[in-house]
Amino acid sequence: MRFVQLTPPGSACSIALGQGIIDTEPGSLGGLQLVVDDVDAAHADLAQRGVEVSEVQDLLWGSFVFFSDPDGNRWSVQQVTPRTAAGS
């Protein structure tokens, strides 16, 4: 088993990448999601690094960009839309 564990500063969550961690084929994972404070900045960073990333899509529950990693796994990056109290 070989892996690298990535933990963003201040995060309680990590992503582990490597060999021998799971039994699935490379590129078979979908629905992987990251949440960011600024989806436009994430989009610009991914595009600047040469990642083929979708345009920002604004939905009622957040703004998203989508991309596939080099193995073909599908990711979404979300900026959560703040919820307002009813009647405000």
Q: Is 19 helix (H, G, I), strand (E, B) or coil?
A: strand
pLDDT of 78 reads 94
pLDDT(85) > 60: no
2-52 confidence digits (pLDDT tens)? 889 988 788 888 888 888 888 888 888 888 888 899 999 999 999 999 999
CATH superfamily of 27-82: 2,3-Dihydroxybiphenyl 1,2-Dioxygenase, domain 1 (3.10.180.10)
- In order of 20, 21, 37, the CA distances from 67 in angstroms are 24, 22, 18
The arithmetic mean of pLDDT across residues 45-65, rounded, is: 95
Domain ranges of the chain: 27-82
Which backbone phi and psi does 29 adopt, to 5 degrees? -90, 135
Residue 83 pLDDT > 90, yes or no?
no
